[in-house]
Amino acid sequence: MTSPFMACALREMGLICALGSSADQVWPRLVAGDTSGVTPRSDLVHGETRMFASVREPLPEIAGALARHACRNNQLTLAALAQIQTGVERAIHAHGATRIGVVMGSSTAGFSAAEDAFRARNQTGRFTPGFALVQLEFGGVAEFVADVTGARGPCYALSTACSAGAKALVSARALLQLGVCDAVIAGAADSLCGLTANGFRALSALSAGRSNPMSRNRDGIHLGEAAVVFLVTRDADGVQLLGAGESSDAHHMSAPDPDGKGAESAMRRALDAAGIAPRDIAYVNLHGTGTPQNDAAESLATARVVGAATPCSSTKPLVGHTLGASGALEAAFCWLLLSRRRGAMLTLPPHVFDGALDAALPPLALVREPMQVAAPAPAAVLSSSFGFGGNNCCLVLGEPRT
């Protein structure tokens, strides 16, 4: 098949999540199915202890001219940005600052900083020093990235719930295809906060323990935090964004279409854009939240598109549901497994759950333990992100195709 979709390179990648603060830290823990980053916290949900996937590493300080951006969300972003700084500097030197764009996703922005600020005002009559409203703006993280890096091209943010990080990469590719940019810094960041945790608690969507996707015992999500940034370019080598598909369920504000029709549409559009068949997909990173409704709808869609033999796993039990960052984080996991292939083999992260399959769900080839699969080059993998409001985005990442 011939595709009109312009592939682009995910040239550089930086990330921080509950598994670590660099690719070298995250990769071995990812493929080992390490859940040690998921721990109980009693400070986020009123009167309850719940499981959260928190970043434990010290975060860089934001001071000086950037002080008005000082919040945890941007500290996470800064930690990820440091990992691609050299690549960004090279791109600016090669193309000029006005040709480097920024697209970032988020669903929490600096809400945790606002919680601290309003708590202080209630107690003392004053906000915490340094609190600024830009920390609350969804566009604030994109503005922060531009200020840190010196990128002066188009700069904007997306907040489409759990699909935001994936959509940021799609938007970056569009800016390149339109000729507006020669490189784009794209990704997403979300940090833990009480507002979000209590919101999901009110929806009865929080798990009593760790998330348990695709199990008959699943009872909800556990939240996490992360930041991921990519430098997206037109280069023809390296890990490529081969295709993307987007759709809307138009079904409900928070629940997915129970038949998975919107999810299926996004998956098929991504494959069509990449110009590949379902049989060419070596692995599917599931959205896999562990809620009864999401897993039921997603398993139907995935089974219809790729069948029961393609290896699949959800990585959310390891890093939590990082909301707006999840699409970018799971694209980063796919980037890692493609860039760290061993000969003809790809190493796949396991699907960590209690092993109690739900007979009401169509069977999927869940990766039960760290495994390697033969994937002759050029390999391709699929990552699915399905957000509130039925906002769906699926990405096909792969090796260069001639």
pLDDT for 252 equals 65
- Answer yes or no: do 199 and 285 share one domain: no
For 27, the enclosing helix (H) or strand (E) is helix 23-31
Q: Which residues are identified as catalytic?
A: 162, 287, 321
- Answer yes or no: do 32 and 156 share one domain: yes
User: Looking at residue 41, which CATH number applies to its domain?
Assistant: 3.40.47.10
Considering only CA atoms, which of 344, 321, 244, 278 is closest in space to residue 10?
Answer: 244
Which of 212, 233, 254 terminates a domain? The answer is 233
- Answer yes or no: do 281 and 377 share one domain: yes
Are β-strands 391-398 and 240-248 bridged in parallel, bridged antiparallel, or unpaired? antiparallel
pLDDT for 281 equals 97
List, in sequence order, every residue forming a beta bridge with 190; answer none if it has no partner. Answer: 226
Domain count, the chain: 2
Mind listing the pLDDT tens digit for each residue in 22-36?
999 999 999 999 999
pLDDT for 4 equals 67
List, in sequence order, every residue forming a beta bridge with 12; answer none if it has no partner. Answer: 231
Which of 233, 256, 273 terminates a domain? The answer is 233
Which of 233, 252, 267 terminates a domain? The answer is 233
Contacts of 119 (CB under 8 A, 6+ apart): none
Q: In terms of residue numbers, what domain contains 62? A: 8-233
- Answer yes or no: do 122 and 264 share one domain: no
Taking residues 6-18, report their average pLDDT: 96
Distance CA 384, CA 392 (A): 8
Mind listing the pLDDT tens digit for each residue in 197-242?
999 999 999 999 999 999 999 999 999 999 999 999 999 999 999 9
- Answer yes or no: do 49 and 173 share one domain: yes
Q: Is residue 3 in a domain?
A: no
- Answer yes or no: do 52 and 125 share one domain: yes
- Tell me the pTM: 0.96
pLDDT tier for residue 161 given thresholds of 50, 70 and 90: confident
Is the model's pLDDT at 254 over the cut of 70? no
